[in-house]
Structure 1
Amino acid sequence: MDELRQTEARVEQLIAQLATTPRIGEQVEELVRLLMRLYGDGLARITELLPGDQVAVLAADDLVSSLLILHDLHPRSTEDRVADALDQVRPFLGSHAGDVELLGVDAAGLARIRLLGACDGCASSATTVEYAVERAVRAVAPEVTGVRVESTPPQLPLLQIGSGPPPRCPVPTGPGARA
């Protein structure tokens, strides 16, 4: 997986370098677009010809999964994959006496997540949990444009309502007491 990430980073670096020479950069961008379309169409044909369960097996492989995501061919939605990532990180969250809830992934690709339980109260714990959640989400859904971790709104203290008037405060007595 590290080799894949290194290759992706090198491709981006080369494209950025070639883009500094306008004519060559434009030609390289067109070449990359055409190759991407060719490979994407090939992958689309493969996924059409295979039964769904075999496509799911292919999608379980990290490299194939990233290619399917790149060409918008992954058999599982972004939201489903993000939910799976949260399921994977829940045992870690339990060690911080907390949980997490997926609020959704919007059309722009922003994943909104809410921390629940003790993770919400401690700043260092919340930062650690947010980092773990973001890493897990980005590992399975690199197309997500961002991860917004929201805290649960603070709970107001519960007021006791009883029957009858409230008890009277005792009248202070003793030296210095005012009546």
Structure 2
Amino acid sequence: MTAEQTGLRIQQALDALAGSGVEQAGEQLARELMEFYGQGLAKLVPALPPPALERMLDDPAVAGLLLLHDLHPEDLPARIDRALAGLPERVEVVGFDPATGTLRLRRTATGCGCSEQEAAAVLSCHAPEVTAVELERALQLLQIGTRPQPAAEAR
């Protein structure tokens, strides 16, 4: 289960409590559990050897949990690169607009590839700052000109 799915389930549970007078108690319980888990993770993360932490950052659930507690050691560009490395097609970052949360990507290879939805799903746990993905195909230029002459004719 991803961090996003867990968050939705928690929100549904809190919504079910709405209006019954126990909504505040449910929200307080969620805050207390978050603080408790965050304190534990804050002690675990620095104790991990760097190669072990590096491997764990590839797991979307771990990445989402560390982001949730502001413990992820990588900056946004590194997290985006890590997420994109898991896509079936190579893409490059064209730009990111923090005001809109839009990440623009360009395909670097031709053929069947990922969709904007697939890219957004991969990015959701690693880079929740990205709220929209625009995917463009790289232009391939057709060169029209004279054909090079064979070596025998070029003399």
Say whether the fold is shared (TM-score over 0.5). yes
Shift of 1:54: 3.1
Residues 101 and 129, structure 2, Cα contact 8 Å, conserved in 1: yes
1:56–1:115 Cα change, 3 Å: closer
1:64 aligns with 2:62: yes
- Larger radius of gyration between Structure 1 and Structure 2: 1
1:88–1:102 Cα change, 3 Å: farther
What is the alpha-carbon distance in structure 2 between the residues aligned to residue 117 and residue 56 of structure 1?
26
Correspondence 1:9-28 to 2 at 5 A: 9-21=8-20, 23-28=21-26
Code of the aligned partner of 1:92 = E
What is the alpha-carbon distance in structure 2 between the residues aligned to residue 139 and residue 51 of structure 1?
22
User: 1:170 maps to what in 2?
Assistant: none
Code of the aligned partner of 2:89 = F
1:92–1:114 Cα change, 3 Å: closer
SS for the counterpart of 2:19 is coil
User: 1:103 maps to what in 2?
Assistant: 95
User: 1:112 maps to what in 2?
Assistant: 103
What is the alpha-carbon distance in structure 1 between the residues aligned to residue 49 and residue 92 of structure 2?
34
Unaligned runs of 5+ in 2: 140-155
Code of the aligned partner of 1:51 = P
Give the fraction of aligned pairs with identical amino acids, expressed as a percent. Answer: 27
Shift of 1:147: 1.7
Correspondence 1:45-64 to 2 at 5 A: 45-64=43-62
TM-score (norm 1): 0.58
Unaligned runs of 5+ in 1: 94-98, 120-124, 155-179
TM-score (norm 2): 0.65
What is the alpha-carbon distance in structure 2 between the residues aligned to residue 69 and residue 136 of structure 1?
15
User: 1:149 maps to what in 2?
Assistant: 134
Residues 15 and 25, structure 1, Cα contact 8 Å, conserved in 2: yes
Residues 78 and 105, structure 1, Cα contact 8 Å, conserved in 2: no
* Number of corresponding residues: 137
Shift of 1:33: 0.9
1:134–1:62 Cα change, 3 Å: closer
Shift of 1:80: 1.3
User: Can you list the C-alpha shifts for 1:103-130, whole angstroms capped at 9, x where unaligned?
Assistant: 1362x681421435798xxxxx99x632
Which of structures 1 and 2 has the larger relative contact order (alpha carbons within 8 angstroms, sep 6+)?
A: 2
